[in-house]
Chains A and B, each alone.
Chain A
């Protein structure tokens, strides 16, 4: 290799992220007293050393990488309008979010263990915790969890530790994938889960819940607005849980609802997904889970917490605190194994909350409500909108005569992704789909989708009439 360096023609292209010239490497090897780089790998038994190139694509130029991913982006619904929600919401992201999180000081910093040179991250988390408390009506919030689903599962584990009880009652109207995650977490902890159904109003069946909650129940876990977009009667559910000494854990998947829907103040623990606050859909992640609770429960809370303190000169500063809950101190006795969380995503959420603030968040939520109300009314003229009797936020369920997959595939032709067919999760609802409208949903796309649903209903009806006529004729 050394003699090749003299010839420019034969020189290998240097890898652009590596800041060393061949002569730097030679100098370092010499300083160390090694003859070749392979001396440094001598501790790896010879039979396992890889003596060939990895079979991965060849080194690409930056322009080639951008082209390759542009191609993938085009294959991925680029330019489609969407009526999908169901735990992942398409909201507008103010541009300054990316301007600010792209600053290397935020982007390329580690977890703020060294407080003196991490005050930027620490203060921003402290503000994040404060705003989550304000919005949820809770007293403390952590610095983030992986996402809403794992936050819900960890919140249930937290209730188990706090109550010393070992079972949980879960609403069937909780996001089905959240329920799956909880089942995975609970399974090996021998934590029995029972599920409670929903009524014709789309809300938790209180009578059934009352029977299921016992003195052995650690917590009741519900979602509000629930998977169908319906707002639960949190006070009534809390009463049932608390009467038996169980805790109430409320999952919030659509954070924008907090702008106009009363937060579940009766809850003991809130496990939320903050993706709606400025986090791109990103095909499902990274998102931002959060757990918020009452002050008295903070020592059983998983995840990082930032606290205010002062330095030697009395100057205000912030540090990671109550670390004795965490794995790096408590190891197998920790409240959770979580280490890396979603810090940069929490920063997006933080900036979003700051931008919209006290008034904007309400106005934004109101636009979601208005679009959804309009859409539900329009759909209701041609098909059945389920659960009409309870208030809803920005999602609703439409039942059609035709399979929603078939209708959606026609809607897709208009570069619109229709509502989520629910057969996979709720076969009992028949030809139902979950539709979501946000401030970004246009009246034009609502009218287009409604038109195609109406056409489907007409076709089914006339096909049915034709069949009836044939029946009569026979």
Chain B
């Protein structure tokens, strides 16, 4: 390492086999209470439907399970260990009070079909969270049912389609900027729409003239991420909305980057008709290694009849209830009511912040991204000089001259004790380094990050091979992904 980093050092790390390799007959980690009803003859009850053997399922003791998963856990990087600057992922602090309240007995053990009179607590949580999210987004109505961002997109586009259908024609196409997340086009296809790509202009924003030319009565909606994946606010957003609305199209906002806006500006005020939020990004519910998420969809009044059912309503006596009689609803997108546990966490986060905390959070997130930009500008190529909101996108152009690509720099960053940024996205920036520090980073942590990135840039000049071979300090070196895909081994099998 060119410059000794203060952030990380080597540490003994336990090896651990697969759980199946530790299994042996006669070990157990469970114990059932004695039956208080007569035992049964399973073969008599089930006949040929009875299962006789559970194959290779493991047999291990409790201490082995604790050690197994604890050891595995130490092989992961996590927000709790340090800066995790994945662009567009909003890896912010996950408050622990959220975890505690979501495990309170009545909430954790509430059955989705228990009578409404003993479900008022859960319904109240859904109601209050909905009200907060509507105020934050400036929208009129909301569903909490979608299980993740992409699921929210699906729900939103289903509503777009139902609305357009109600006007006589579902239309054919969805416009999607070339800077969009992959989920946008994948979602449009699932809802039966053709995707029409829109080129960004030289400033990384929607080209308003091109949009005017592309917009016609075949277009159902424009899916726009704002701020976009370059971390740039679409300054002509009001014009974009006008162009869409003038020709009967809707403006869908992908709220993945809402962490740049909360308390400072509201999508509902700048012309958005329908949008989703990612509670696992903006509202601090933990990413958990890839989920669970939650993707509420907020809409303007005219789309309310199309919301998935059921919706939460207040009855004349003041109690809350689910309303199923929604003839224009797009239907259900998930069994029950959504990822309720995430609603609890997102509301706890909102209450912990209040209006002042939410605004300060947004300001700090934007402040941090700009600090990173300032610290690395000139060292790394900045393809768009447009003002940065919550994330900044560099390219590997300067380092590529030495044969070092964004992924190599990312891998080297691991040696410095950081999680890499997002690599090779957005697609409009070849060799992108997409960095989103979030509000959760202190100045000290960011200074270490900037120092690490600068140090890597020097290494690229002096010893590019060092970077190309990185990471050097992890328990495994770069893994052979080509072999993994060519001959997939997707499960363990006993050696014969």
Contact = CB atoms under 8 A, between A and B. Distances in A.
A355 B163 CA distance: 49
Contact of A357 (B59, B136, B187, B339): B59
A317 B479 contact: yes
A119 B16 CA distance: 11
B184 to A, nearest CB: 8
B238 A355 contact: no
Given A43-B387, A285-B337, A328-B181, 12 more contacts: A18-B361, A19-B445, A45-B270, A54-B263, A65-B101, A100-B66, A109-B289, A110-B287, A129-B491, A319-B479, A329-B182, A357-B30
A261 interface: yes
Interface string A76-100: 1111101010111010001010111
Contacts of B338: 284-285
Interface stretch (B210-218, B296-304, B469-477): B469-477
Contacts of A141: 490-491
8 contacts: A40-B366, A43-B235, A57-B351, A76-B106, A121-B289, A177-B335, A337-B154, A340-B278
A65 B351 contact: yes
A289 to B, nearest CB: 9
A114 B420 contact: yes
A131 to B, nearest CB: 6
Contact of B490 (A31, A150, A307): A307
B394 to A, nearest CB: 16
A180 B433 CA distance: 42
Contact of B187 (A44, A90, A106, A337): A337
A363 B37 contact: no
Interface string A123-145: 11011011101110001110110
A305 B488 contact: yes
A288 B122 CA distance: 20
Contacts of B280: 340
B80 A282 contact: no
A156 interface: no
Nearest to A40: B366
A261 to B, nearest CB: 6
Contacts of B37: 370-371, 373-375, 443, 446
Contacts of B288: 101, 106-109, 343-345, 347
Contact of A120 (B75, B102, B188): B75
**Which of A58, A123, A280, A282 is packed against the most chain B CB atoms within 10 Å?**
A282
A332 B107 contact: no
B371 A28 contact: yes
Interface string A412-440: 10000100100000000000000000010
B78 A109 contact: yes
B120 interface: yes
B372 to A, nearest CB: 10
A72 interface: yes
A120 B73 contact: yes
B352 A332 contact: no
List 5 tightest A-B contacts by C-beta distance, closest first. A344-B288, A284-B336, A59-B354, A104-B80, A78-B106
B367 interface: yes
B57 interface: yes
A315 interface: yes
Interface stretch (B84-92, B242-250, B397-405, B456-464): B84-92
Contacts of B480: 309-312
B9 interface: no
A27 interface: yes
A104 B110 contact: no
A41 B331 contact: no
Interface stretch (A185-193, A208-216, A457-465): A185-193
Contacts of B442: 19-20, 24
A86 B113 contact: yes
A282 B356 contact: no
Interface stretch (A9-17, A242-250, A466-474): A9-17
Contacts of A326: 182
A19 B441 contact: yes
B486 to A, nearest CB: 10
Given A261-B50, A305-B488, A333 B189 contact: yes
Contacts of B1: none
Nearest to A103: B73
B455 interface: no
Contacts of A380: none
Given A20-B442, A188-B161, A56 B151 contact: no
A362 interface: yes
Given A354-B58, A443-B37, A340 B290 contact: yes
Interface string B234-277: 01011000000000000000000000001111100110000000
Contacts of A78: 104-106, 109
Nearest to A24: B443
A444 B364 CA distance: 56
A400 interface: no
Contact of B286 (A24, A107, A124): A107
B332 A177 contact: yes
B62 to A, nearest CB: 6
A174 to B, nearest CB: 11
Contacts of A175: 335
A319 B483 CA distance: 10
B366 A119 contact: no
A339 interface: yes
Contacts of B55: 134-135, 358
Contacts of B192: 188-190
Interface string B54-90: 1111111010011011111111111111001010010
A108 B490 contact: no
Contacts of A261: 46, 49-51
B352 A17 contact: yes
A330 B427 CA distance: 12
B357 A15 contact: yes
Contacts of B337: 283-285
B419 A231 contact: no
A363 B55 CA distance: 15
B340 A283 contact: yes
Interface in B20-38: 20, 23, 28-30, 32-33, 35-38
A146 to B, nearest CB: 4
A259 interface: yes
Nearest to B111: A84
Interface string A315-326: 101110111101
**Which of B51, B287, B471 is packed against the most chain A CB atoms within 10 Å?**
B51
B478 A361 contact: no
Contacts of A206: none
Contacts of A20: 364, 442-443
Interface string B127-147: 010001001100000000001
A149 B147 CA distance: 11
